[in-house]
């Protein structure tokens, strides 16, 4: 499809051309296994370590604190299972706090931890999708071992007050895991300011390839592995590293300032939001009006089902989403919006538009016009049916 009309960057971003070239070059020229001691292996290892260093510097970490995984989901699994099981095994407690609107790779892990005897509380969010730090403070207990929160939500883009909560957990000796998959590359992510003990990153959400992600593990934080094999990645993630994808991850991070996803997305988001406000004044915007990612605009048009709107836009050549790409079914209302206090009908009306480097002012204007036309057609058809 026309990449200018691709508005689902929160699900995955097209690779930057320079990243694609880097991945191809490594696939064609670097055949070694980073664990081998010959020249081909040493060169492959050098590529992995170069990317590790670039990624570490970008978030204020040490090289050794970056553990490569194959996906953000795997990194979240390693963070939660690894931290919870180790701390419980050491007799430090079994109480865990997670946000109510976390990614399924966090919520389903905690469901499993409950089956293993852990006590998990889900932190409520307000109408804007934000956790109240005071509520976190009230729920922290002597046996709390872990708090896990998204930096920014993947459905509505709301940014959590992670720096305040990180300071709180650090003072109490509670591990703090932050899922920064959506925020990394769009807004600053600094593990020192957040005071994160564990933090998840993913290449394909910010111009990199699929198949490469990372977990930041703060020096001194100990995890139990969740898969077993060789000694790669500090014995936390055994298996031969995906060298081409990791090379692409590092390249994407190098290009963050050049592509400036946050600045570009903010300008396009404002332009689209203004167009929608003029043409569809009854439209609702979900998420926090200020503390939100500059690249996500999630709207609801009363009496217009989001999935039907998404399908009609797709027919016209626009790719958007009526929910998270990781949801079990887009025909069901978003659990994120339900947790934010919206009704089932309101949640079913939601449409997520996520902007990225391929979008232009003209393609944003075209999307705005198409939204206006389709919404008017659908409302007219609904009135016609009711009138019969």
CA distance 131 to 138: 12
Judged by DSSP in three states, 367 sits in helix
Active site residue 283: no
Cα separations (Å) of 311 from 123, 262, 297, 334?
33, 27, 18, 17
DSSP character string of 12-23? -PPPPHHHHHHH
Secondary structure letter of residue 95 according to DSSP: E
Secondary structure letter of residue 187 according to DSSP: B
CA distance 199 to 195: 10
Neighbour tally for 127: CB within 10 Å: 11
CA distance 107 to 339: 13
DSSP character string of 210-256? TT-EEEEE-TT-----SS-SSSTGGGTS-S---HHHHHHHHHHHHTH
Beta-carbon contacts of 195 under 8 Å, excluding residues fewer than 6 positions away, are 163, 166, 167, 169, 170, 176
Secondary structure letter of residue 149 according to DSSP: E
Task: State the residue for tokens 């944003």.
Answer: 364
- Tell me which of 325, 326, 328, 381 is the catalytic residue: 326
Rounded to the nearest 10°, the torsion over CA 115, 121, 123, 124 is 90
Active site residues: 326
């Amino acid at each position: 499809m026309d990449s200018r009309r691709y508005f689902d960057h929160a699900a995955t971003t097209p690779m930057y051309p320079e990243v694609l070239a880097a991945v191809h070059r490594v696939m064609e020229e670097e055949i070694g296994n980073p664990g081998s001691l010959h020249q081909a292996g040493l060169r492959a290892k050098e590529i992995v370590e170069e990317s590790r260093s670039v990624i570490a510097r970008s978030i204020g970490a040490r090289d050794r604190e970056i553990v490569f995984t194959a996906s953000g989901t795997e990194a979240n699994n390693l963070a939660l299972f690894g931290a919870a099981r180790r701390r419980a095994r050491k007799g430090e407690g079994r109480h865990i706090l997670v946000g109510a609107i976390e990614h399924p790779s966090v919520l389903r892990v905690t469901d499993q931890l409950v089956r293993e005897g852990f006590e998990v509380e889900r932190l409520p969010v307000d109408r804007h999708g934000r956790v109240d730090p005071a509520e976190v403070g009230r729920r922290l207990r002597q046996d709390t071992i872990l708090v896990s929160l998204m930096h920014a939500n993947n459905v509505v883009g709301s940014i959590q007050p992670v720096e305040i909560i990180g300071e709180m957990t650090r003072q109490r000796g509670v591990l703090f895991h932050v899922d920064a998959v959506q925020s990394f590359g769009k807004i600053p992510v600094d593990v020192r300011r957040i005071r994160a003990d564990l933090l998840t990153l993913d290449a394909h959400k910010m111009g990199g390839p699929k198949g490469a992600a990372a977990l930041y593990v703060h020096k001194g934080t100990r995890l139990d592995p969740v898969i077993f094999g060789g000694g790669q990645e500090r014995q936390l993630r055994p298996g031969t590293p995906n060298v081409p994808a990791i090379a692409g991850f590092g390249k994407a991070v190098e290009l963050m300032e050049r592509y400036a996803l946050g600045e570009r997305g903010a300008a396009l988001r404002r332009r689209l939001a203004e167009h929608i406000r003029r043409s569809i004044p009854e439209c609702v915007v979900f998420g926090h009006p200020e503390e939100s990612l500059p690249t996500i605009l999630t709207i609801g048009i009363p009496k217009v089902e989001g999935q039907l709107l998404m399908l009609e836009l797709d027919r016209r050549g626009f790719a958007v989403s009526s929910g998270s790409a990781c949801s079990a079914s887009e025909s069901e209302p978003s659990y994120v919006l339900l947790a934010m206090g919206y009704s089932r009908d309101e949640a079913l009306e939601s449409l997520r538009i996520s902007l990225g480097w391929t979008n232009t002012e003209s393609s944003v204007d075209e999307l705005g016009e198409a939204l206006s036309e389709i919404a008017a057609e659908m409302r007219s058809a609904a009135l016609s049916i009711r009138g019969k």
